[in-house]
């Protein structure tokens, strides 16, 4: 059972390592999970993961891999390997290589539109690389439909179909809006992970998001993890915003 604060993932959607470190230093340990997406990873690469790890937090690596199965297989393996390669146990920890350790990459994304073969390759790569390196396997979750997309008559069924495909292919869960979370939970069961972005505080601007909800609504709908970016990063007091979100749960 996750603690309430462990359900919150703060999106480090910034363009420099300095900015990312500012938010990690400010918000940890109130926040223990941080999302590294395309913007920060393109700018800083694995150094961003190392920075979060050195603080003691963990990473949701959100790169939405979508390519031919072989390329995604290798990319997921590299992402899992990144977890162990940047770890440098201190003399105090006495971590032995034969022990299974928990790397900083907690979860990674692929896009469900890549198809069954690609998704199966991603699931297999995570398991094989984790076994090889004797690390805890990162969760692999499939992006269904972006929360910036407009609601359409077929959105719910499209997301359900994508979730069932992801589950059948061996993924650990999906990324979807809270609008679909309840239906996905019903179709895929309690152990299937649901990650929900597009979380906004009451009365906050939607920005470029469309299918948004509050944190409380998302948890009630069945979401396991909530990804929050701008409502925290752009707040006058980001730590206060974090505590407000956690408190609402």
Instruction: Domain of residue 169: give its range.
Output: 4-89+96-248
Task: Give every CB contact of residue 115 below 8 A, 6+ residues apart in sequence.
Answer: 69
* Residue 61, token pair as written in the block: 């690596």
Q: What span, in angstroms and rounded, lies between the C-alpha atoms of 36 and 227? A: 11
Q: What span, in angstroms and rounded, lies between the C-alpha atoms of 150 and 34? A: 26
φ, ψ dihedrals at 165, nearest 5°: -65, -45
Task: Give the model confidence (pLDDT) of 39-53 as tens digits.
Answer: 999 999 999 999 999
Task: Give the model confidence (pLDDT) of 122-164 as tens digits.
Answer: 999 999 999 998 888 999 999 998 877 777 889 999 999 999 9
| Confidence (pTM) | 0.90
- Asked whether the beta carbons of 227 and 196 are under 8 A apart, the reply is yes
DSSP for 101-166? B--SEEEEEEEGGG-HHHHHHHHHHHHHHHHHHTBPPPEEEEE-S-TTSPP-TTHHHHHHHHHHHH
Using the 8-state DSSP alphabet, how is residue 5 labeled? Answer: G
- Asked whether the beta carbons of 23 and 238 are under 8 A apart, the reply is yes
- Asked whether the beta carbons of 76 and 114 are under 8 A apart, the reply is no
CATH number at residue 56: 3.20.20.70
* Radius of gyration of the CA atoms of the chain, in A: 17
* Residue 243, token pair as written in the block: 């505590």
Q: What span, in angstroms and rounded, lies between the C-alpha atoms of 102 and 82? A: 12
Residues acting as catalytic residues: 64
Domain count, the chain: 1
Task: Give the model confidence (pLDDT) of 80-89 as tens digits.
Answer: 877 555 554 4
Give the pLDDT of residue 85.
53
- Asked whether the beta carbons of 123 and 169 are under 8 A apart, the reply is yes
């Amino acid at each position: 059972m996750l603690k309430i604060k462990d359900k919150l993932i703060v999106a480090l959607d910034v363009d420099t390592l300095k900015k990312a470190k500012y938010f990690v230093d400010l918000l940890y340990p109130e926040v223990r999970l941080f999302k590294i997406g395309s913007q920060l990873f393109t700018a800083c690469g694995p150094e961003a993961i190392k920075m979060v790890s050195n603080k003691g937090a963990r990473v949701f690596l959100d790169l939405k891999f979508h390519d031919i199965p072989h390329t995604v297989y290798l990319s997921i393996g590299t992402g899992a390997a990144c977890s162990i390669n940047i770890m440098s146990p201190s003399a105090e920890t006495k971590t032995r290589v034969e022990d299974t350790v928990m790397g900083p990459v907690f979860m990674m994304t692929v896009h469900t539109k890549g198809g069954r073969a690609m998704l199966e390759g991603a699931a297999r790569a995570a398991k094989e690389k984790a076994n090889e390196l004797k690390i805890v396997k990162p969760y692999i979750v499939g992006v269904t439909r972006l929360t910036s997309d407009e609601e359409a008559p077929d959105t719910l069924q499209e997301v359900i179909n994508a979730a069932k495909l992801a589950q059948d292919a061996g993924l650990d869960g999906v990324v979807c809006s809270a609008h679909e979370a309840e239906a996905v939970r019903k179709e895929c069961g309690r152990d299937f992970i649901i990650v929900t972005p597009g979380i906004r505080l009451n009365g906050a601007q939607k920005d470029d998001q469309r299918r948004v909800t509050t944190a409380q609504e998302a948890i009630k709908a069945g979401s396991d993890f909530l990804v929050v970016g701008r409502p925290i990063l752009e707040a006058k007091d980001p730590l206060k915003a974090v505590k407000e979100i956690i408190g609402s749960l």
